[in-house]
Amino acid sequence: MQKLPTLVLLSGLVAAAGIAGLASPGAPRTSLDIYYIDTEGGQSTLFVSPAGESLLVDTGNAGGRDLDRIVQAIEAAGLSRIDHLWTTHYHGDHVGAMEELSKRVPVGRFYDHGPLAAGDRATPPTFIGMYEAMSKGRRTTVKPGDKVPMAGLDIVTVASNAVATRTSAPGAGRPNPACAGVEKKDETAYIDPDNGASAGFLLTFGRFRTIDLGDLTWNGELDLMCPANRIGAVDLYLVSHHGIDRSNSPALVHGLRPRVAIMNNGTRKGGALDAFKVLETSPGLEDLWQLHWSYNVGVEHNAPGAFIANIDNNETIASVLTAPPPVGGRQSGPRVGGDPAHAPAYWLLVSAQRDGSFTVTNPRNGFSKTYPAATSR
């Protein structure tokens, strides 16, 4: 997959909890900027269009930790409001800070997948009522094919409420050879079926393409990608479900053929070994970037340090790697509330151009890598 290239140090880039922005004040924005905010294994991703319009996907965990990090990203992007707030699903690591965030930053319109999945026991008990009251008159329940109206961007729903699109994106729709040998899983025992109802979208900016499927599970991925690949190839893949192996099937990942993947894992949440193996064998994948160094896979599978936004000190890493394994093994599935806070906490920043080229920057160390526009799909 990746070999560590020469580091490009960006002077003055690192700030206490991230970066203050790459463009000088008042300069016109030409790129689509994407902030992958560290919510310690939850999700919160901020998209800012060249026109300055904003889309925030999910709001991380409850409490001041993730709320402050999201607000810092909003301020760093030079925003005073969120135009579109997209909720992939209703679990606490994706919606926890929503209510408090709306008190600090005005929100224009809300998007979601509709009713809570039947039998779900992982959604905060007070969330649905709060959300319905907050979003009243400003709520859009999306179905496959629905779009978010942002000038210069094409943002189309490809999965929602456990229904996958049956309409192929331009240039897609061919048989997906990555489906061969990939079987559906028994998901009936899951206590958190709202994952499988996740609202996911494909975003296109000129020739640049990226996809966010929330925590869509394995069977939903197969519905989307098999037998025909309805998405085609993407430049950037946000690793589904924090890198948990209940998602990230070869049919999805290998079918998408991403050039770059970003994993929003925590130190112990997500980042499962099988998910890493699927990524490592994905055709055409140049680099994996991570929000955290994953203790689930140790030194054998984590990306090189320059590609990881948040890393514990050497002493902490050594103590974890040399400790005896816990009795019965360690559960790598979701834990609401995330891991203990890292301070400072860094996001990963992607700046994409209309020609399909894009740059990923790690503010922790000033490392940046630019990917030229794809020559073919």
pLDDT, block means (10 residues), the chain with 377 residues = 45 38 60 97 97 97 96 97 98 97 97 97 95 97 98 98 97 97 94 97 98 98 98 98 97 98 95 97 98 92 96 76 59 41 89 98 97 87
Q: Which residues contact 73 (CB under 8 A, 6 or more apart)?
A: 18, 35, 37, 44, 46, 347
Q: What does the block give as tokens for 125?
A: 């008990």
Please name the amino acid found at residue 319: S
The domains of the chain are located at 32-322+334-371
Q: Dihedral of CA 241/348/305/259: which sign?
A: positive
- Compute φ and ψ for 74, nearest 5 degrees: -60, -45
* 93 touches 195 (CB < 8 A): no
Q: Quote the Cα angle for 160-281-286, to 5°.
A: 85
Which uninterrupted H or E stretch holds 237? strand 236-238
For CA atoms 61, 92, 235, 243, give the dihedral sign: positive
Question: How many beta carbons lie within 10 A of that of residue 270, not counting itself?
Answer: 31
d(CA 333, CA 247): 11
Residues 6+ apart with CB under 8 A from 82: 54, 55, 56, 74, 101, 105, 106, 107, 108
Fold held by 32-322+334-371:
Metallo-beta-lactamase; Chain A (3.60.15)
Q: Residue 27: its pLDDT value, please?
A: 66
Supply the Cα-derived Rg of the chain in whole angstroms: 19
Nearest to 341 by CA among 52, 64, 81: 64
Tell how far CA 273 is from the center of its chain: 18
Matching residue, tokens 């893949």 = 237
Amino acid letter for position 109 = R
